Structure 1
Amino acid sequence: MKKAKKIPGIPEQTRGAFHDTEDRKDFMVPELAVQKFEILKERFFSINYWKDYCGGLSAEFKLYDQSGSFVDRKPKTGDYVRINIPAPDNTDANYDWVKIVNMDDQTYNDDELERYLITCRPSKAPGSRNNHIAHFYSAESTSNFVITLGQDYIKIGVYGRNEIPNTSRTGFWGKIRNFLISLFGGYTRLAKIQWKSLTEGLLDF
């Protein structure tokens, strides 16, 4: 049975589904890797424009601050990301929401010259009066985005961990929606396609 990769800095896989989605570019000239990584880094921190790199069938991502106001800047811990996925509407709030719960720039081995991590967790919509999780997955799940500059390569990975359908902390129609998607397995396949289009798109120079 395939196991989730152990990636430094991201939560360990303990239950539910997972995915590891990665893309990498290698370079004969190390200086070129550095140049391309600067472009990748700018794209990585421009969440509002991710759809532009993924193509027309991609989900749309928009960055919001803790008060629920749209912002066009680099993300920071505590921000929210509103996701409009090409799937049945989330009738609780019309969008899926995640909160950025961790960011770091640690490297973990000698081959890594730079590394950046963003960890997101399903959440309620910012400013919402209830505690309903406005997302297909429960709050135990995380999506972890990592970009790395190596000696002669650049790499991006999206790692889903502990992906459990949200059937408790949501409204009635949200439960129905999540159950149906879980039953047919559609969201898992859709998410894999989405994250693959993101990793490929951000590395398409």
Structure 2
Amino acid sequence: MEKEEGQELGKEKVPGQYVGSETNAVEAIELPSEEEARDFFQIVRERFLNVNQWYEIAQLPMSTFKLTNYLGKEVNRPVMEGDFFRIDIPGPGTEAGEGYDWVKIEELSEESSENEELLTLKARPSANPQNADSDTAHFYTEEAVSIFQIKRVGNKISAEEHGRNEVPNRKTDNIIDNVRNSIVGWAAKAGFSYPQWKSLMKGFVKR
């Protein structure tokens, strides 16, 4: 019964899937006691919020994440709602993003009770906050969303990434960006993004 409850925790935060592809990467561990799980969850939480270290945390690093504020200026602190991720993906970047892909943190929420803890981060492809170009500077359209979660239910801890409505972004005014986004989006759909998310989830809960 506890396992089912753990699977349901935070499920309402994950949007429905209605277009394009989806990804789901989950890694879970079980600790000897609930007390140890509570203590270790604080370490997992620190890793989760420290976006600038995600490259090092991942067991199979592929893309580099940099945290910026609402103006696109790099910051070295825990992530906050309204921040942006500047993502450096191997290969050519977007012109709209000045060589990078960008996502905006639309939601950062935390819930806890005596037996459960949940931290959810919702990210969506966005325009480059460093310039006035309104084109989405990401290989997916703004319909896509990524939900990152860490959970504790009793003595079990899990880290999850759920990508929804992932459609290659061919809506920009830049033909080169449209071609690039099609190629990167196809590669992600073919499964190249899953190992990265899976390795990051493993890194979050690694003891």
For structure 2, the 5+ residue unaligned runs are: 1-7
RMSD: 2.0
Q: Say which structure is richer in helix.
A: 2
Is 1:187 matched up with 2:188?
Answer: yes
Identity among equivalent positions (%) equals 30
Alignment deviations for residues 83-122 of structure 1 (CA, whole Å, 9 cap, x no partner): 1112443243211100000111136xx8951100000000
Q: Among 133, 140, 143, which residue is 1:140 paired with?
A: 143
Unmatched tracts of structure 1, length 5 or more? none
Following the alignment from structure 2 to structure 1, what is the Cα–Cα distance between the partners of residues 32 and 145?
35
* 2:96 counterpart of 1:96: no
* TM-score computed with the length of structure 2 as normaliser: 0.88
Q: 1:127 is aligned with what amino acid?
A: Q
CA contact (8 A) 1:134 1:170 kept: no
The count of corresponding residues between Structure 1 and Structure 2 is: 197
Shift in alpha-carbon separation, 1:47–1:72, aligned structure 2, 3 A: same
CA–CA separation in structure 2 for the residues paired with 1:78 and 1:131: 17
- Counterparts of 1:1-16 in structure 2, within 5 Å, are 7-16=11-20
Who is 1:156 aligned against?
A: 159
Q: Does 1:70 align with 2:70?
A: no
Counterpart amino acid of 2:199? Answer: S
Give the match for residue 197 of structure 1.
Answer: 199
Contact kept in structure 1, 2:85 and 2:102, CA below 8 Å: yes
Contact 1:144 1:158 in 2 (8 A): yes
Contact 1:66–1:79 (Cα < 8 Å) also in 2: yes
Question: Once structures 1 and 2 are overlaid, which stretch shifts more, 153-162 or 167-176?
Answer: 167-176
Q: Distance in 2 between matches of 1:19 and 1:84?
A: 20
Q: Report the 3-state secondary structure (helix = DSSP H, G, I; strand = E; otherwise coil) of the residue aligned with 2:13.
A: coil
Q: Distance in 1 between matches of 2:173 and 2:143?
A: 14
1:170 Cα deviation after fit: 5.3
Partner of 2:31: 27
CA distance in 2, matches of 1:194, 1:87: 16
Show the counterpart of 1:120.
Answer: 123
CA contact (8 A) 1:27 1:33 kept: yes
Change (3 A) 1:56 1:11: closer
CA distance in 2, matches of 1:58, 1:174: 21
